[in-house]
A = this chain, B = another copy of it.
Amino acid sequence: MRVSPLTLHRLSVYLRCLRQMEEAGVHRVSSQELADRFDLSATQIRKDLAQFGEFGIRGVGYDVARLTEGLHRLLGLDQQHRLAVVGMGSLGSALARHLGPDGTFAVVAGLDNDPRKVGTRLAHLEVRHSSELPAVVRETGATIGVLTVPADAAQVNYEALVVAGIRAVLNFAPARLKPNRAVPVKDVDFRINLEELVYFLK
């Protein structure tokens, strides 16, 4: 079954909320409680979850641990995904430190084209030269590329990731990429988010 991008996004949000409930020691929750606590729609929650089978019991609600595990598996988060970060500036370095080797998302490679950075160690990684990308992807089994390069270097590095066999890309560069149909891109563009907030301030 294919799930639409909007549904997928909502499922990720529910998972986040459920993890917060779990950490708070909550074992059982109704769609209405979830909706109230996290500013969501109870009807939408029920509809989204119903299409994947019977997670909840009417009048009793959802078992938090069971639903968390179900969503985890559904979203493919029960296995580790390996990330190669291209651009080891302050943001790339912060990501490498943040996503350690033991998580669902593990940064397994950091690359840069600055010879002063190549060979330096950062957290659990040794920075490699961008020209080594195909070998690094082969060695590490990275499937997701992360672009933390300047805007004018984003497209060429995206294409290098495609050639190296990376299957999906998270783009932090403030650039609009022209994507290859086979290798989807998600933009994490907080400047665009800031611009949207500013409009509200007017």
Contacts and interface: CB of A to CB of B under 8 A. Distances in A.
Interface of A: 3, 5, 8-9, 12-13, 15-17, 20, 23, 37-39, 75-77, 81, 90-91, 93-94, 97-98, 105, 143-144, 151-152, 167-170, 172, 174-176, 178-179, 184, 186, 188-202
Given A175-B20, A199-B75, A200-B168, A98 B90 contact: yes
A160 to B, nearest CB: 18
B179 A193 contact: no
A23 to B, nearest CB: 7
Contact of A90 (B9, B15, B75, B93): B93
A54 B104 CA distance: 49
B76 A199 contact: yes
A195 B77 contact: yes
A5 B196 contact: yes
A193 B188 contact: yes
A17 B199 CA distance: 19
Given A12-B192, A191-B105, A198 B17 contact: no
A143 B201 contact: yes
Contact of A8 (B12, B17, B76, B199): B199
A20 B154 CA distance: 11
Contacts of A189: 16
Contacts of A178: 37-39
Query: In the complex, which of the residues A23, A39, A172, A195 has the most CB atoms of chain B within 10 Å of its own CB atom?
Result: A195
Contacts of A98: 90-91
